[in-house]
Amino acid sequence: MNSEQREQAEREQASRVLPPAAYSDPAPGRTEARRRHLLSEIDQQTRARSARRPRRRMVLVLGAAMAAGATVVVLSLGSGTTPHNAPPASAASVQVLERAALAAHATSQTKVLDGQYAYVKTVGHTSVLSETKAGQMELLRQDEGMEQWTSVDGSEPTLQRKAGKDSLLPDAPGNLNSPTYNFLAALPTDPHALLKHIRDDAERNHGAGSDSTTGPDQEAFVTIGDLLRNGVTPPATAAALYRAAALIPGVDVAPEAVDAAGRSGVAVARVHDGERTEWIFDTSTARLLGERTVLVKDSAWGKAGDVVTSVALVSSGIVAEAGQTP
């Protein structure tokens, strides 16, 4: 199969798993023009970054030990880095991400005032690999269901509710690791400028001198996923994030995926060091449902095909006070 036949097959696959949306598609030729531009940008960016050092490693362990006497062992899923010769984002993934961007643009802009809070509710789990008193390794599942209220202007600490218990997060909101609504609204809405902003931040924090093995492409993909999973993102910013993701080499489509709430969809995915990170979208609305991590090879974390992390967005919105729900 030559490159033109493979691209046509990818487009047909995307059309099957993600049928036409209710809002209008781009004008004829716009998607193809965007793809040619994206491929040109990817080629230039890949050559420019060929000598950069890898970024921080990806880990699955979050939180404290699950049982008394157990010691949590923080391990990465793999030891290699993302290859520099990763192929450009597939035609199918570019099409899904463009549909998601159009859906975001079609979302009505909520009037947000300083003093309000962005609310998000998620369900799901992460995996914890721990060592017992007997010296045996045990894989445990940790509940990640929660509600969270983040001050839109960053003037108040973030309130998080897990298992009915409230706590204030110590990190000051208002950056890529802990975004506020106002911070997201101030990000560049040009996909290329936005991706550069994300890469520059990761380079400062996970570049030369760090022990990172994540690599710039995977780091950017994970950061964008984290920002989108925030739950309340200005429409223009969300659209730019989806289009920025289409600039990252190695992005592809997983035609069938199920989120932590049991909802089926199509996933935009990227494989790195034995794991596949998936963003799951509703096939009819192109709305982001959640994210999960699937093993693509056997490891201490499980067998190939096992879902080791999965978080689904259940509800989100803007509220007047912490503790309120939309």
Q: How far is it, in rounded angstroms, from Cα 158 to Cα 322?
A: 8
Residue 73: pLDDT over 90 = no
More confident residue, 81 or 97: 97
Q: Is residue 31 part of a domain?
A: yes
Average per-residue pLDDT for the chain: 80
Q: Is residue 325 part of a domain?
A: no
The single residue listed with the structure tokens 């693509």 is 296
Residue 50: pLDDT over 60 = no
Q: How far is it, in rounded angstroms, from Cα 109 to Cα 143?
A: 33
pLDDT at 65: 30
The single residue listed with the structure tokens 């984002």 is 89
User: Among 68-77, 129-138, 148-157, where is mean pLDDT lowest?
Assistant: 68-77
Q: Is residue 212 part of a domain?
A: yes
Q: Is residue 324 part of a domain?
A: no
pLDDT at 119: 97
Q: Dihedral, CA atoms, 271, 273, 274, 280, nearest 10 degrees?
A: -30
What percentage of the chain reaches a pLDDT higher than 70?
71
Residue type, 259: D
Residue 10: pLDDT over 80 = no
Q: Is residue 233 part of a domain?
A: yes
If you average pLDDT over residues 90-104, what whole number do you get?
A: 97
How many helices (H) does the chain have, and how many strands (E)? Answer: 7, 11
Domain count, the chain: 1
More confident residue, 11 or 178: 178
Predicted structure pTM score: 0.77
**183 Cα distance to chain centroid:** 18
The DSSP-derived string for 19-80 is PPPSSPPPPTTHHHHHHHHHHHHHHHHHHHTTTPPP-PPPB---SS-SSTT-EE---BS-S-
pLDDT at 205: 67
Residue 306: pLDDT over 70 = yes
Instruction: Assign 66 a pLDDT band (cuts: 50, 70, 90).
Output: very low
pLDDT at 130: 83
Q: How many CB atoms lie within 10 A of CB 277?
A: 21
Q: Is residue 275 part of a domain?
A: yes
What percentage of the chain reaches a pLDDT higher than 90?
56
Q: Containing domain of residue 19, as a range?
A: 3-319
Contact between residue 122 and residue 144 where contact means Cβ atoms under 8 Å apart? yes
If you average pLDDT over residues 21-47, what whole number do you get?
A: 48
Q: How far is it, in rounded angstroms, from Cα 232 to Cα 119?
A: 7
Residue 141: pLDDT over 80 = yes
Helical (H) or strand (E) element with 13: helix 3-17
Q: Is residue 313 part of a domain?
A: yes
pLDDT at 224: 96
Instruction: Assign 201 a pLDDT band (cuts: 50, 70, 90).
Output: confident
DSSP 299: B
Nearest-5° angle of CA 202, CA 246, CA 239?
90
User: Among 30-34, 69-73, 192-196, 260-264, where is mean pLDDT lowest?
Assistant: 69-73
pLDDT at 134: 82
More confident residue, 271 or 216: 271
Q: How far is it, in rounded angstroms, from Cα 183 to Cα 171?
A: 15
If you average pLDDT over residues 211-221, what whole number do you get?
A: 81
Would you state the structure tokens that stand for residue 209, as one six-digit string? 């001198």
